[in-house]
Structure 1
């Protein structure tokens, strides 16, 4: 049975590795002026890591990705904790996925060095490193912000032009107008897409998974049908507030 409106996020494990590699390849295309076809590899890796669906098979949850080999199954009996980030005061996604947090910080620092040392805009008219760094900062900020502070997040759409202004003071011509526009639009789309969904953490003894859910009630109805009454305390499902939908 497919859980409508639910997809797994590529925020941990091998899925994160593919998404990271794909993103870096895409924004690095200007470095390969005569080999722009390499961007296809980046888009392929990024698409392969993307979550496709959440289904139930017997007493298991099946998380499917566009690259079928990445699909995995979670036995209901292995679930140790369920958490809805949007419903918990002070809960932040970054705390549960430190590897993702460390990766974003690393990419931002690396991109800053590339911007200051090799101003791509002067040679190619586009600075992919700036786009990567500024949108990475916005993504990092929303991972660190509790959902109760959503009103603090949307002003972050102004971060790319503010950052570009400072970088161009340090290294004139290092960031072009098109890169600023691209980063600002991507940040806006990221913010809108992020806050229109609920995020459910499923934690097992081996790994944590994050689901992006449009209909939280449907997911919980499915899980309640699979979890035996005696197991509710074990999973922590009983502590999840009922949906308002």
Structure 2
């Protein structure tokens, strides 16, 4: 049975590894080695890291990714903790999934180093890297803010135009208006998507999984009922 509206996010495990490889191929390899076509392979790995579905099959949960061809399996009895993390006011996504936090920080640092490297700036320009840097900083802000700070998170949408203004003050004409608009628009889309979604953290003794839920509450009830029926030994269950 497929859980409608539920997808596993690439915040841990092999999915995170695929996302890291894809990011490296897109950002690092083409610039450092000069093989720009490798970026296409990077986008393939990045897309492959995105989850496609969460399925219930007997006593197992299957988290499908790599265009539905690969999956991670979890026995219901293995689940030790299940919580809708965005319903917990003090929950911080970076604390739950430090691997993704480190990946985003690495990408931001690389983009910043690129901005400070004249030969790279001369060859590739600043606009595309500004969009990457600005949207990365916005997403990083979401990850470190507790979910109860949604109001403060909305102010992060102003970060791209402020950064663009500051960069152009230091180096006039470096960032064009379209790039500032795109970074701001992407930050807004990230904000809306981040706070309109339920996030279920499922933990076993081996690792944690993050499931994004479009339909608020419904999928969590399915998972909770399965675990309660299957495993009477108990686990930490932080519900809404």
| TM-score (norm: length of structure 1) | 0.85
Output the CA distance in 2 between the equivalents of 1:119 and 1:155.
Answer: 34
Gaps of 5+ in 2: none
1:66 Cα offset (Å)? 3.2
Deviations 1:168-201 (A, max 9, x none): 3344444333332222221111111111110010
Deviations 1:206-234 (A, max 9, x none): 11010101224332332244224583562
Output the CA distance in 1 between the equivalents of 2:43 and 2:150.
Answer: 30
Output the CA distance in 1 between the equivalents of 2:47 and 2:16.
Answer: 12
3-state SS of the aligned residue for 1:179? helix
1:37 Cα offset (Å)? 4.1
Report if aligned partners of 1:121, 1:127 keep a CA contact under 8 Å in 2: no
Output the CA distance in 2 between the equivalents of 1:35 and 1:177.
Answer: 29
Counterpart residue number, 2:219: 219
Counterpart residue number, 2:239: 240
Report if aligned partners of 2:29, 2:38 keep a CA contact under 8 Å in 1: yes
- In structure 2, the CA distance between the partners of 1:26 and 1:187, relative to structure 1 (3 Å rule), is farther
Q: Give runs of aligned pairs for residues 72-91 of structure 1, distance below 5 A.
A: 72-91=72-91
3-state SS of the aligned residue for 1:212? strand
Report if aligned partners of 2:200, 2:220 keep a CA contact under 8 Å in 1: no
Q: Give runs of aligned pairs for residues 12-161 of structure 1, distance below 5 A.
A: 12-26=12-26, 31=31, 37-68=37-68, 70-118=70-118, 123-124=123-124, 127-161=127-161
- In structure 2, the CA distance between the partners of 1:187 and 1:59, relative to structure 1 (3 Å rule), is same
Q: CA RMSD in A?
A: 2.7
1:167 Cα offset (Å)? 2.5
Gaps of 5+ in 1: none
Report if aligned partners of 1:28, 1:128 keep a CA contact under 8 Å in 2: no
Output the CA distance in 2 between the equivalents of 1:4 and 1:152.
Answer: 31
- In structure 2, the CA distance between the partners of 1:87 and 1:233, relative to structure 1 (3 Å rule), is farther
| TM-score (norm: length of structure 2) | 0.86
User: How many residues are matched?
Assistant: 239
Report if aligned partners of 1:27, 1:132 keep a CA contact under 8 Å in 2: no
- In structure 2, the CA distance between the partners of 1:18 and 1:128, relative to structure 1 (3 Å rule), is farther
